[in-house]
Amino acid sequence: MKTTAPVFAASDAKNNFGKLIDAAQRRPIAIERRGRTVAFVLAPEDMEAMEDFLLGLRAQEVMKHGKSLGMKASEAYIKKILHAKD
């Protein structure tokens, strides 16, 4: 995964958890294990903004199709967006 977020090695995140959560208040932080991004830590406001964005995309789909996609189709649509390649 390509990201511009600052990176903490998993061991550094574990050993410096206080610094990690302080840094996450400023911007999302990527956690890497064995050279691969395995998680992100972000502030509650950032998570809420992501949820709002995804709900907005879902609302656009409902408006476009004139009906609800249903739970399974909605989950598939959100997964498609989250895993889209640039």
Residue 2 lies in a domain: no
Q: Judge whether residue 86 has pLDDT over 60.
A: no
Q: Is 36 strand, coil or helix?
A: strand
The pLDDT tens digits for 31-79 are 999 999 999 999 999 999 988 898 888 888 878 877 766 778 878 877 8
pLDDT score at 85: 64
pLDDT score at 31: 97
pLDDT score at 63: 80
Residue 35 lies in a domain: yes
Measured between alpha carbons, how far is 74 from 71 in angstroms, rounded to an integer? 5
Residue 77 lies in a domain: yes
Q: Given the structure tokens 């399974």, which residue do they identify? A: 72
The pLDDT tens digits for 4-39 are 889 999 999 999 999 999 999 999 999 999 999 999
Count how many domains the chain has: 2
Domain that holds residue 22: 7-42
Q: Judge whether residue 3 has pLDDT over 70.
A: no
